[in-house]
Amino acid sequence: MSIQVVPLGAGQDVGRSCVLITIKGKNIMFDCGMHMGYNDARRFPDFTYISKTGRFTEILDAVIITHFHLDHCGALPFFTEMCGYDGPIYMTHPTKAICPILLEDYRKITVERKGETNFFTSCMIKDCMKKVIPINLHETIRVDDDLEIKAYYAGHVLGAAMFYVRVGNESVVYTGDYNMTPDRHLGSAWIDKVRPDVLITESTYGTTIRDSKRSRERDFLKKVHDCVANGGNVLIPVFALGRAQELCILIESYWERMGLDVPVYFSAGLTERANNYYKLFINWTNQKVKSTFVERNMFDFKHIKAWNRTMLDHKGPMVVFATPGMLNLGTSLEIFKRWAPDPKNMVILPGYCAAGTVGAKVLQNQKLIEVDKFTKIQVNLQVRNLSFSAHADAKGIMQLIRHCEPRNVVLVHGEKGSMDFLKGKIVKELDIPCFNPANGVSINIKTRLSMQATVSTELLRSFLVADAKSRVKAAEPSADTTGPTRAISINGTLIIRQDDTNKSIVKLISNEQYKAEFEQQQQA
């Protein structure tokens, strides 16, 4: 048997996440995202790989969306309402609540500001979300008699989940985006030791091991403070939910502690709605937010006010959190155009910028950036890249793989160079086969034949006793107790018989018992 995996997006690339798997005849599509770096047909996955005649509902058994970021859900209304998919779609409750708002913002910018016509409408977004079946954390949903899925906490953003999919005795884990370290408002990712046949993991920061979070926070606050103290403006491009709340909490507490009166603004009209989502889904936040929530809502900011476009003409220092996070369009790009020529100003890019976006060009130190054929930006302002990204770094990815104990690993959502490095590390250190296919490239991963069998009490007892003795020995000071606990190997003879109804009965007995039974039969 084998499991087929093909990325329709995020294969040796970041953006347009969409991974198709076939497991025991079941077809599941993980994520359905858009690419920030393209404004043409390439922004969406190439769904013709699934069907050239639009038979998507017939072919796919389920679509699973891991979280609300547009590079994971931005193509969903296009796929359901314009391509015609009408099957089940699964996502968590927070993702279902927040997705339509970000999709509508994306539609407004694309259609109303850029004037594109062949795009999904507000009505299509609503119709798409009606098809969604919400799933709770640790809830197992049976899609049909054979296919079951289960969601696990991924950190990253509110509502993000990793998904475990099982068909018979074969299984896959798809991580989406996740974070293995807790932050100021979310906990760290967690999953059972499920030992899947295939683990499909993001690899955005596959070559990075981050320094301490505290030193990054100090560095961020110092750079912001120094810039405004010298009369400059600070632009911090963020996505409306996630890192935005993390950095706002940081700035809010620093402004309060230092008694600063420099204005701080948040550009998205989502701030108030974001607070409502954090109240509604408080159980998704970390323990500190939960424990202080009754006395004080951490997301009610005293020093951070709503942004108004007229403030662009105001003189004097200010700090602005503006969406979106990669400077590819919207308010963040509008402010950047105005502030970029002045060397007193600063832009701090706190997360990953996909290739082709203005943010990526800024990080490459390009001094003249062509946004489109009509717009060029002279870049003289100070540029800082401080990683507050909510993605796992190389250490976190390896930690998840060690814990999960998969038989195979597939890397997606990363640049090829990072993937190749991480792939070598996984194979060398963990001795696990690893793959990193490009978009449209299909791989077949062989799975082990397995069957259920009853084990004789005598045989099981003998191996459990031997295992217990080895554990006692391992607890001695001289013993090496590092490494994960492994399953117990039981050696014996496998007996396969058929009962009166022609049903196969599989039993594992000790070699001694088999020898005795065989001799008994011979004598009979």
Residue among 156, 208, 206, 203 nearest 178 (CA):
156
Residue 177 has pLDDT above 60, yes or no: yes
Structure-token match 């890019």, residue found = 349
Residue among 403, 414, 450 nearest 10 (CA):
414
Through-space distance between the first and last CA atoms of the chain, rounded to whole angstroms: 40
Selected residue with higher pLDDT from 91 and 253: 91
pLDDT value of residue 482: 39
H helix and E strand count, the chain: 15, 25
CB 297 within 8 A of CB 279: yes
- Name the region of 236 (left: φ>0; alpha: ψ -120 to 50; beta: rest): beta
Angle between helix 243-258 and helix 271-280 axes, rounded to 10 deg = 100
CB 313 within 8 A of CB 339: no
Q: Is 171 exposed, middle or buried (0-12, 13-18, 19+ CB in 10 A)?
A: buried
pLDDT value of residue 65: 98
pLDDT value of residue 105: 85
- Mean pLDDT of all residues in the chain? 89
CB 444 within 8 A of CB 23: no
Buried b (16+ CB within 10 A) or exposed e, 295-334: eeebbebebbeebeeeebeeeebbbbbbbbbbbbbbbbbb
Percentage of residues in the chain with pLDDT exceeding 70?
94
Q: Which amino acid does the sequence have at 407?
A: R
pLDDT value of residue 291: 77
DSSP string, 349-361: E-S---TTSHHHH
- Mind listing the pLDDT tens digit for each residue in 118-142? 899 999 999 999 999 999 999 999 9
The CA distance from 352 to 360, in Å, is 8
CB 346 within 8 A of CB 291: no
Query: Cα dihedral sign for 356, 6, 420, 65?
Result: positive
Cis peptide before 324 (omega within 30 of 0): yes
pTM, two decimals, is: 0.79
Q: Which of 55-64, 87-96, 147-156, 494-503 has the lowest mean pLDDT?
A: 494-503
CB atoms within 10 A of CB 136: 12
Report DSSP state, residue 284: G
The residue from 170, 202, 217, 252 that is catalytic is 202
Q: Which of 176-185, 282-291, 338-347 has the lowest mean pLDDT?
A: 282-291
The CA distance from 357 to 334, in Å, is 14
Residue 156 has pLDDT above 70, yes or no: yes
Strand partners, 166: 148, 171
The CA distance from 59 to 352, in Å, is 34
The CA distance from 509 to 479, in Å, is 32
Residues 6+ away with beta carbon under 8 Å from 151: 92, 135, 136, 137, 138, 139, 161, 162, 163, 164
Q: Which of 152-166, 288-302, 349-363 has the lowest mean pLDDT?
A: 288-302
Query: What is the mean pLDDT of the segment spanning 104-112?
Result: 87
The CA distance from 274 to 88, in Å, is 27
Q: Which amino acid does the sequence have at 16?
A: R
CB 345 within 8 A of CB 339: yes
Strand partners, 137: 151
The CA distance from 201 to 198, in Å, is 10
202 as an active site residue: the answer is yes
Query: What is the mean pLDDT of the segment spanning 223-230?
Result: 96
pLDDT value of residue 480: 41
CA distances from 218 to 163, 251, 333, 386 (A): 35, 11, 26, 11
Q: Which of 40-44, 394-398, 469-473, 499-503 has the lowest mean pLDDT?
A: 469-473
CA angle 500, 503, 507 (to 5 degrees): 105
pLDDT band, residue 37 (cuts 50/70/90): confident
Query: Cα dihedral sign for 74, 80, 82, 83?
Result: positive
Dihedral, CA atoms, 320, 108, 239, 418, nearest 10 degrees? Answer: -130
Query: What is the mean pLDDT of the segment spanning 41-67?
Result: 96
CA angle 132, 161, 178 (to 5 degrees): 140
Angle between helix 213-229 and helix 243-258 axes, rounded to 10 deg = 60
Residues 6+ away with beta carbon under 8 Å from 333: 327, 358, 371
CB 33 within 8 A of CB 106: no
Residue 474 has pLDDT above 80, yes or no: no
